[in-house]
Structure formats: structure tokens, C-alpha cells
Structure 1
Amino acid sequence: MTATTAPAGHRPRRLTARMRLTLSYALFAVAAGLIFVVVVYLGLRWIPNYPLMPSNPRDRLDAPSRGEVLDALLVTCGYALAVLTVVGLGGGWIIAGRVLRPLQEITRAAHHAANGALEHRVALAGPRDEFTDLSDAFDEMLERLQRSFDAQQRFAANASHELRTPLAITRTMLQVAAADPGGQDLPRLVGRLQDTNQRGIEICEALLQLAELGHTAPALQPLDLADAVRDAVAAVSEEATARGVTVTAEYGPAPASGNPVLLRQAAVNLLHNAIRHNLPADGTVTVRTGPDPDRPGRVLLAIANTGPRLTPEAVATFTEPFLRGRGRTAETDPSRRGHGLGLAIVAAVTEAHQGRLRLTPLPDGGLRVELGLPER
């Protein structure tokens, strides 16, 4: 049998937390007073029960007996417990309200977040305690949710735009061909349609790869990062030669645990960016693998290329999906045109391997990329 949980709006009503705390405070105060009364009462029971006599027999002494003292004590304590109950309820209500006030702020922030206002923050002031820790954790969660939500919105909008572009181009070419069937160069039209269709396929494949990396942990195995990088350099050597870019590689041992296919793809994407966003002529790309000199216990893939000067603000956005070297604008040269997902895939591969990706603009122009992984 499966247990079901009632929705929040249909939960049975019970006393509020403030009322329960108030009753707890009052009950504790009355219980403490009652214990005190019992102790005093039991203590007075030990008083000898014999009549008191004055030192002078001619004097008259109206001293109460032990029974009369105990009776008076019970009456007085009854009134005291009644007053203590009222004070406990009133004081407990006030104290509980002050204690629960931070929770009310967090509840209001949660309702704002549930209604879509993720920019609202609790921001409790005062010294650090359990409530401020909860408030800071809640604010941090809201901030991460807001960043994630904004990134998802940008990703959905950009993906829609990227996928719509080849479809719109295909529709335009087909409409032109349908309007003037006899005046079309069919081989050229078919070639353009194939190129456009291939571009849409590449975008879909990249999106699927990003989605898979975000939800499925890759299968890892012992490897040498240098082997994956060596294969990647061989894969892009023809393009580098065609563009007049010189690639210099130094393959130092870099033992790690990873997925060779994904790491090779990440290296290929980094090399494509380094080659395509280089100088118009006589550009260079340097590749190095080996131990990370700044972080013991990690291995490093470092790729540096010549090219135009970049600002740190621009470089910080390069791993955002669909952001190309020229921003959101595609290259006019089809051989240089990408889908803007290369570095986003590299960042996802690095995160899946618990690695670190660092992009640094070089003073004389170009970019240095460091992909670090835990050493095996």
C-alpha cells in the first residue's frame, strides 16, 4: 500500500506554532511553580505538630498550628499558580511571537518565490544564529534558482532562435524555388539545402549532448589526457593548415580518470575555437598537457592562441550557450561558422569530470584556456 500525502491546502488544521510554544511556556512555568509548591508543602510536613506555649503562662498566644499553616499555604499557592498561568500565557505569547518572527519573514519570501518573484531576499539582520543561518541558506538557494531560471530562459530563447534560423532559410529557398521552378539551379539549391539541414542536425546533436551531460554521469576509466589531446590535434590539423595556423604541441604525461570520447570532443572544441578565432595570417596555437604546476594532484590541458584582444568581461560569457566569438552574430564565412555551443559543451564535460575550466585573455591578444582534472 502506498502512502499518500495530502496537498498543503487540504491539510488538517491544528494549533499554530506560536500557540503551541505559548502553551509550552505556560505549562513549563505552571509545572515549575507546582513543583516548588509541592517541595515547600512536603517540607512543612516535617514541622512538629505540637501546640506552642508562651514563655509566660499568664500570656495568651494565638499561634497557628501546622495544619492551619498548610491550609493557608495551599490557598495562597493556588492563587499564585493562577497568576503564574496568566503571566505564562501572556509572556509566552509575546516571546513566541518574537522568536518566530524570522520564520515569518522566510515564509513570506517563500511565498514570493512560489509566485515567481525569485529576486526577493530575506536578508535577516543581527548576529549569527540558527535563524540567520537558515535565512542565508534560503537566500543563497533563491539566488542560485534565479541564476538557473534566467539561464534556462536565455537557453530556451537562444535554442529556439538557432533552430528556427535553418528552418526559415529552408522555407525561403523552397518558396523561391516554387515561385520560379524553371529558373533554379537545382544542384546549387540542393547543396544549400543540404548545408542548412546539416547545420540544424549539428545544433540538435549538440543540444542532446548538453542535455545528456547535465543529467547522466559519464562512464569513467583510467586514461592519459595526453592521448585524447593528441587525437584531437590530429583531427584539426588539416583545418589549421588551411587557415595558416601553426599548432605546437607538448604532450606531457597526464594520468586521469575520465571518458576518452568526451575528453577528446572537449579538446577538439577548444582547438576549433583556437584555430577559427585566430589572426588572419601567421596565427599560432600552443598545446600542453602535464601536471598542473599551480595545483598539485591535478593534471592540466593548456591551449593558448594568438588573436584579437579580449576583455575579461567578454571572456566570462564565452561558456554561455549560443555565444559565438562575435557575440550572437554568426560568421559570414561558412567554414568559420559554428553553432555557439562548443565552449558550453566543454564546460559541461569539465563539470561532469569534476574538473576546472579557466579562460584567461592574453595581454597581446588571444586566449588561454586551462582544463584541469583530478590526477589518477
Structure 2
Amino acid sequence: MDRRPGLSVRVRLTLSYAGFLVFAGLLLLAAVWVFLLRYVPDRAMLIDPSDRPDGVFPIRSALLDVFAPRAAAVLGFLLVFGLVGGWILAGRMLAPLTRITEATRTATRGSLSHRIRLPGRSDEFRELADAFDTMLARLEAHMAEQRRFAANASHELRTPLAISRALLDVARDDPDQDLRETLDRLHAVNARAIDLTEALLVLSRADQRSFTREPVDLSLLVEEATETLLPLAEKRGVTLETSGDVAPALGSPALLLQLTTNLVHNAIVHNVADGGEVRVSTGAGPAGTVVLTVENHGEHLAPELIATLTEPFQRATARLRGDHAGVGLGLAIVRRITEVHDGSLVLAPRAGGGLRVDVRLPAPPAPSSKPFPKDS
């Protein structure tokens, strides 16, 4: 934004300090003069009238002749002292702001690792510097996450494309290759690429927060998600159990359904081979929240591994092969949808193996119980 040149803040503060000091001195001199006018007589009779013909000495006129030049000298001194002292004080006061400005310019050049770390006790400038350092830290972490996400997404998208190319090259070089088998494998690889692309689109839409919030019952979303994924659970020998009460939340029905479906799908896929179990429950949480809980059987997971599961393309076990293996974005999408709904996501290992996921979302405000006015 182009702006016309103007006086610096330091110059304006210096002029303000000097002007205030001169004004205060002027008020003090005026008060002294008023005091003199009130308590000093205008004239006095001389004891020795030989000094003046009329024998009267004009006291106030003499005081004015003496007082005025000295008052002007005092005001001049105060002006110079105010300008010099104001310039020094303004420089000391604005020194933290200069450091913050330099840090901002450094950040605009792309260096997000720089920190101000302003020393001293807490005040407005140090609070601003600390807030700026916190913002830089979050931006640096976000940029690092975005770069890591872009690299992982490129790798994940390149994998099915490379497999498809290899299958096509084999089919072209080997005329005796079973065409149906090749088509089936290409279909599976293409389906994985489509799933990955759709997951990336969901994650992008959640990041934009471009959705309308409306009342949503999480218990109904659980029923819909479990009904959709029941064939997959039966195929893998996993039992689905749902329980809980009505859990009203406020948000996007489509995104919250995606969250619920991802959690249930993740619990089914990452389960024991046969005889596994998935328990899904909803209910009221503390402090005006609702809770969606999904638990599943599975391998014993270390706490340090669980801390990485919500990162994109992270899996609790090795990459899975076969149908519905997932693309490594399930819990990343869950975390992002939870964040844009101002909720919290808690992952914890189960004692017998497996994972417990708690999603806490704010409940909508209770409707007003104020009665409608009666017709007169």
C-alpha cells in the first residue's frame, strides 16, 4: 500500500514530550507571576525620596523587567531539554518496536525461523513480541506440515500411476498376458487413486471452513456410518456394536458424517483378523460438549506411535494390501474436521490392544425456556 511520507513516530513523540514540558513550564511561570501580582503591591513609598522625585517605586514594573527575560530563558532551556530528552526517551521506548519491525521484514522474506525473544518484564511491547513469536512458530510448523503433506501426497499419487504404467507396459510387451487380470488390477489401482483424490478434496474443503453450521445428531450419523460399513465388517469378521444417547452437535452434516465414517472404517480395517470388535458410542460430555467414542481391538500401540497417527499418510501398522486398505488420510481428516468444528480429538491405546478415539464437539446452546407472551 503506497502512503505519502510523514514524520516518524520518534519525531512526533519527541515533539510531544518537548511541547508538554514547555507547556508545563509555561503554566508554572504563569502561576508564579499570578502569585506575584496578588501578593506584591503595585507601588511602594521610598524612605529616602531623594532617589525618585515623587518618592514612589513601581515594584511590579521592576519585577516584570527582571522576570520576563529570565522566564524566556527558562522556557528556551525547557524546549532544548525537552527535544534532546524526548528524542532519547522516544528512542528507548521504540527500540522494541524496531526489533519487531525487523523481525516482520525477515519473516516476509520467507525466514520463519527467526524469533524476537524480547528480554525484560512483561509490558505491551513484550506481549506483542511474544504473540508475534508464537505466530511465527505456528506458521513455521504449518508450512513444514504443508511441505511434508505435499511431498507425501505426491508420493502417494505417484505410486498408483507408476503401477498402472507398469501394468500397461507389461500388457503391451506380452500379448499372451491375461487381459482380464490386468484390467482387474488396473481397476483396483485406479480405485485407490480415486479414493486418495477424494480424501484430499475432503481435507481441502475442511481447511477452508466453507460450510454452514446446523444442528446434527451424532447418534444418527453413527447409525448411518455403521450401516454403510456393515458389509466390510462382516467380510473381515468384525463385530460392530453401537450404543449411547442422543448427541446434538453444531456443524456440517456432511463433514461430521465423513468424520464418523472414517473412524469406524479405520477401526474395522485396523483390527484383528477374525473375531475383532468395534464399539461406537455417543453421549454428553463435560462442560457443554458431546462425545463420540470409537474403540477397536488390534495390536498393542506405543504412545509415541499414537501421537503420529493423525499426521497425513501415517499408519499404525505397515502398509496394508487388499480392498479398503485406506490411503493414510483417515485420522488426518478426522483431526482437521474436529478442529474446524472447534472440538478436540484424543487418541489412547487400549489395555488389551487396539485404539480408543474420543471426539469432543461443542453442543448447541439450549433453547430459551422463556414463555411466549399471551394474547391479550
Unaligned runs of 5+ in 1: none
- Cα gap change, 1:155 to 1:37, in 2 (>3 Å): same
Q: Structure 2: state its 5+ residue gaps.
A: 365-376
Q: Is the 8 A contact 2:305 2:316 kept in 1?
A: no
Residue in 2 that maps onto 1:108 = 102
Please report the RMSD computed on the Cα atoms of aligned residues, expressed in angstroms.
Answer: 2.5
Contact 2:271–2:298 (CA under 8 A) maintained in structure 1: yes
Residues 218-237 of structure 1: matches in 2 within 5 Å?
218-237=211-230
Shift of 1:57: 7.2
Q: TM-score, normalised by structure 2?
A: 0.88
Shift of 1:64: 7.2
Whole-angstrom CA distance in 2 between matches of 1:203 and 1:147 = 24
Superposed displacement of residue 237, structure 1:
2.0
Letter in 2 for 1:103: L
Pick the aligned partner of 1:367 from 325, 335, 355: 355
User: Which of 323, 339, 346 matches 1:358?
Assistant: 346
Distance 1:14 1:57 in 2: 64
Aligned to 1:325: 316
- Give distance in 1, aligned partners of 2:45 and 2:20: 39
The answer as to whether partners of 1:302 and 1:369 remain within 8 angstroms in 2 is yes
- Partners of 1:253 and 1:216 lie apart in 2 by 25
Contact 1:106 1:135 in 2 (8 A): yes
Aligned-pair CA distance for 1:252: 2.4
Contact kept? 1:230, 1:251, Cα under 8 Å: no
Per the normalisation by structure 1, the TM-score is 0.88
Mapped to 1, the partners of 2:73 and 2:362 lie a distance apart of 73
Equivalent-residue separation in structure 1 for 2:200 and 2:189 (angstroms): 17
CA drift at 1:39:
3.2
Check if 1:136 corresponds to 2:125.
Answer: no
- Following superposition, the deviation at residue 102 of structure 1 comes to 1.0
- Give the conservation status (yes or no) of the 8 Å contact 1:324–1:339: no
Q: Which whole-Å deviations, capped at 9, do the CAs of 1:269-308 have from their partners, x for residues lacking one? A: 111111211223332222212222xx14322221111211
1:29 is matched with: 21
Picking from 161, 167, 185, the partner of 1:192 is: 185
- Segment of structure 1 superposing worse, 274-283 or 34-43: 34-43
Paired with 1:116 and 1:257, the residues of 2 have a C-alpha distance of: 38
Task: Kindly indicate whether residue 246 of structure 2 is the aligned counterpart of residue 253 of structure 1.
Answer: yes
Instruction: Give the 3-state SS of the residue equivalent to 1:335 in structure 2.
Output: coil
Distance 1:199 1:97, change over 3 A: same
Give distance in 2, aligned partners of 1:317 and 1:311: 11
TM-superposed CA distance for 1:45, in Å, is 3.8
How far is 1:38 from its partner?
A: 2.9
Does the aligned pair in 2 maintain the 1:324–1:338 contact within 8 Å? Answer: no
1:169 to 163, 177, 180: 163
Which residue of the other structure, out of 270, 274, 292, is the alignment partner of 1:301? 292
Q: Is the 8 A contact 2:247 2:283 kept in 1?
A: yes
